[in-house]
A and B are shown apart, each in its own frame.
Chain A
Amino acid sequence: MTPPGFAAAQALAARHRFKWWEVLPWVAAIAAFFLFPTYLSFGTQVLITILFALSLDLVMGYAGIVTLGHAAFFGAGAYTVGILALHFGWNEPLSGLVAAAVVAGAIGFVSGVVLLRTQGLALLMVTLCTMALLEESANMGAAYTGGFDGMPGLEFAPIFGVFQFDPLFFRAQYLYALAVLLVCFVLVRALVYSPFGESLTGIRENVLRMHAVGAPVQRRLVVAYTISAALAGVAGAVFTQTTAFVNLSVLGLDRAAGVLIVLILGGYGRLYGAFVGAVAYMVLEHTLAKAYPTAWQLGIGIVLIVVALYARNGILGIAETLRGRLRMRRAS
């Protein structure tokens, strides 16, 4: 005889195992490489956005920290590799990623220690202001950052000293971004299914209870924020390396709001929401902007409103609801 709750316990214990469909995004990404050879520049941008949204998912979807300033870390990473390459001749890409992760992570740690005591509107505003401060600093430190014009025409060494970045077809860039995304994804996936990840979800669901059971809430949040910032920094670094330029747009409210939209659209707190959201949003934006250069925002705005009103939890939320209904029908 099985004890009560056995099925639930088993489901919980098996949660972290890889499922067959988890291969699909990666197969699709490889397939896209061969199917759309002329769209690899766009594809690289999508991969970078996925990584950026994934980093946001860790703090927003899992730990429940609503931030409007996540582009601060994307920009920190982007500017780190840009400044290192232009002023210090440090243009080896992989070590550049590490440097970007360290700088962005350090900023995330310091700001996290200070900011994460606030909640609600105040938290929204202090994250926003931190990002704006970085943006203004980048604007003012023109000697290092190039100010408003940014740093165009950066050069980076080949990956592993072998694979040259290809300014025309973006083949190397695409595969490079894909590889970085895969490594980071495996890391995030392991993290959210670990006891640490569970405690983050606990903090999101019920802070008081987590305090009551003696979890170090503040410390957990700061650690999650730091890791997320480092990942966002890596995304920014890949952006600079693959496009060979960096300017103030990496730090702006547009980018912060954009990644927020991507994640909510895909479905937050679900790991794969970043994938679905980034592809859906960017493909939609790309096609609309091409077809209707003046009116593309209208289409996107309507989609966002409809999703917010009728599809709580984003596109993956719809999929889950449908699956749940199907199961109910089968059971009855």
Chain B
Amino acid sequence: MDLVSIALGGVASGMVLFIVSVGLSVTMGLMGFVNLAHGGFAMLGGYVIVYAMDAWGLPFFVALATGFVAVAAISIVLERLLYAPLYRASELDQVLFTIGLVFVMIAAITLGIGPETQALVLPDWLRGQTDLGFISYRTYSLMVIVAGTLLAIGLWLGFERTRFGAQIRAAVDNRRMAQSLGVDVGRLFTITFAFGSGLAAVGGGLGAEILGLDPQYPLRYLVYFLIVVSVGGLGRVSGVFFAAVLIGILDFVLKLYYPKGGTLFIYAFTLVVLLLRPQGLFGKRSG
């Protein structure tokens, strides 16, 4: 494979990592909540999207939107009922709760749908190759890259240029100060949590082609999502974006050249980054 197609493949999987992880980064930055169940929302979304296309015959983008709305709605209910009482609990109780939630999600999918891998049936216009002039590449991967980039720009604008984004940034930097200035951090959190879970759902659907989709998904990729978030820095949209693309390319190249044990380098990379910069490559030093 030549350099360009390797780069494109890596960037495409980086985009999926970004779309899934960005919500986790913001919610963890806001509340310091260790949400190990985040990958579960991505999985649920993937299933909703595959099902919506399969059973209801919805077009691809409508199915993605359905997945977003459905999972965002589920996550609002879960956040109000189950997450909220645990905000002041210890880190360990949060870990116990979110692992329990992942188990329930895995079991629910296994029981309701079955343990087998789900295939995303792509519409015709997304299959095959597209000629870019200098290279021809998989249309689907190109679409993922475009979608991810647009989303990243949109999120960045929302984060840096709107009042709501400014409130989130303020609360991530100093929650108590933001609260005393009249920012309703609880409401802020509910909204970002729902939005982040919805995005994870879209990522689960978009990435089904690249990461696969089966009941073990939330645990298998948990480490990857956590790596992206911690390397990118908590509560930073741009940081998560660069980290995701970096990890995506690294992973793609390593899987290509060292299929056995290539992930070793990703773990080593993360280890070194976090030892030198515990706040992440792009994060601000806190306190």
Contacts and interface: CB of A to CB of B under 8 A. Distances in A.
Contact of B28 (A121, A133, A296): A121
A209 to B, nearest CB: 17
Interface string A124-150: 111011101100110110000000000
Contact of A300 (B82, B103, B263): B103
B270 interface: yes
A contact face: mostly helix, strand, loop, or mixed: helix
Interface residues of B, number: 48
Contacts of A133: 264, 267-268, 271
B226 interface: yes
B92 interface: yes
B111 A298 contact: yes
A126 B274 contact: yes
A121 B230 contact: yes
A297 B261 contact: no
Given A121-B34, A125-B226, A261-B96, 6 more contacts: A121-B229, A140-B264, A260-B92, A260-B95, A294-B107, A304-B99
A302 B104 contact: yes
B103 to A, nearest CB: 3
Contacts of A297: 103-104, 106-107, 110
A253 B91 contact: no
A305 B104 contact: yes
Interface in A264-286: 264-265, 268
Interface in B208-225: 219, 222-223
Interface string A101-142: 000000000000011011111101110111011001101100
A312 B106 contact: no
B1 interface: no
Contact of B95 (A120, A264, A301, A305): A264
Contacts of B89: 308, 312
Interface in B244-281: 260-261, 263-264, 267-268, 270-271, 274-275, 278-279
A60 B111 CA distance: 35
Contacts of A114: 275
B270 A125 contact: yes
A308 B100 contact: yes
B263 A304 contact: no
B278 A129 contact: no
A295 interface: yes
B177 interface: no
Interface in B109-129: 110-111, 115
Given A126-B275, A253-B223, A294 B94 contact: no
A162 interface: no
Contacts, number: 133
A280 to B, nearest CB: 13
A268 B96 CA distance: 12
B166 interface: no
A301 B104 contact: yes
Contacts of B86: 308-309
Contacts of B227: 125, 129
Most chain A beta-carbon neighbours within 10 Å: one of B86, B91, B115, B271: B271
Interface of B: 28, 32, 34, 82, 85-86, 89-97, 99-108, 110-111, 115, 219, 222-223, 226-227, 229-230, 234, 260-261, 263-264, 267-268, 270-271, 274-275, 278-279
A35 B12 CA distance: 59
B contact face: mostly helix, strand, loop, or mixed: helix
A296 B213 CA distance: 21
Contacts of A121: 28, 34, 229-230, 234
A264 B98 CA distance: 13
Interface in A236-282: 253-254, 257, 260-261, 264-265, 268
Contacts of B92: 60, 66, 260, 264, 268
A305 B95 CA distance: 10
Given A121-B234, A125-B230, A126-B275, A301 B100 contact: yes
A122 B260 contact: no
A307 interface: yes
B260 A130 contact: no
A308 B93 CA distance: 5
B271 A129 contact: yes
17 contacts: A120-B32, A121-B34, A124-B34, A124-B226, A128-B226, A129-B268, A130-B271, A133-B271, A253-B219, A253-B222, A260-B95, A265-B96, A301-B101, A304-B97, A305-B101, A307-B96, A312-B90
A132 B107 CA distance: 26
Contacts of B82: 305, 309
